[in-house]
Amino acid sequence: MPFPYRDPEQARPFLLEYFELTKTDPELLEAWKNLGMVVGVKIEDLGLGYTLDCTSGRDVVILDRYPEEPPGCAMKLNADVFHDIFTGRLNVMVAFGRRQVRTEGNIAGIMKLSFLLPKNIKLYKDYLRQKGLWS
């Protein structure tokens, strides 16, 4: 099953809501807060970008646009790769190796959070189920 939306105007709020949802899990939120950098996520095939500002140490600010200034680290991928990683169908290290996920900046910080991927996968699948997009 591919990413559920091909229209950027439908995908935009769907992804923003998912990123916001990650803040409801205390362990995920704490890990993001401790990251101490701005993270950019670009969904290239849909022309979408998101900013996760993790610099305050108190909260994570999520914006519906790619950072204006170069972020501390950035991940660029297409929607189907994002979907396959977060549904657990594609191993993130394999995706990096195949250059399906391209990075810029200090990606070491994000890689430190890879142990939280199973939590992200569960959260994403639950979100898809809630939306009637996963069985």
- The pLDDT of residue 2: 96
Q: For residue 23, give the DSSP letter.
A: T
- Single out the residue of 133, 94, 129, 132 nearest to residue 114, CA to CA: 94
Q: CA-CA distance, 131 to 54, in Å (whole number)? A: 27
Whole-number Å distance between alpha carbons of 125 and 52:
21
pTM to 2 decimals?
0.94
Indicate whether 33 pLDDT > 90: yes
Task: Report whether 11 contacts 42 (CB < 8 A).
Answer: no
The structural domains of the chain, with segments of one domain joined by +, span 8-129
CA separation for the pair 107, 74 (Å, rounded): 7
For domain 8-129, the question of CATH label 3.40.1440.10 is answered with no
Report the distance separating Cα 40 and Cα 30, nearest Å: 18
Dump pLDDT digits (tens) for 76-106.
999 999 999 999 999 999 999 999 999 999 9
Confidence of residue 114 (pLDDT cuts 50, 70, 90): confident
DSSP string, 74-130: EEEE-HHHHHHHHTTSS-HHHHHHTTSSEEEE-HHHHHGGGGGHHHHHHHHHHHHHH
Q: Among 78, 80, 84, which Cα is nearest to 121's? A: 84
Q: What is the pLDDT of residue 41?
A: 97
More confident residue, 49 or 107: 49
Gap between the Cα atoms of 102 and 127, Å rounded: 25
Band of pLDDT at residue 117, cut at 50, 70 and 90: very high
On average, the pLDDT of the chain sits at 95
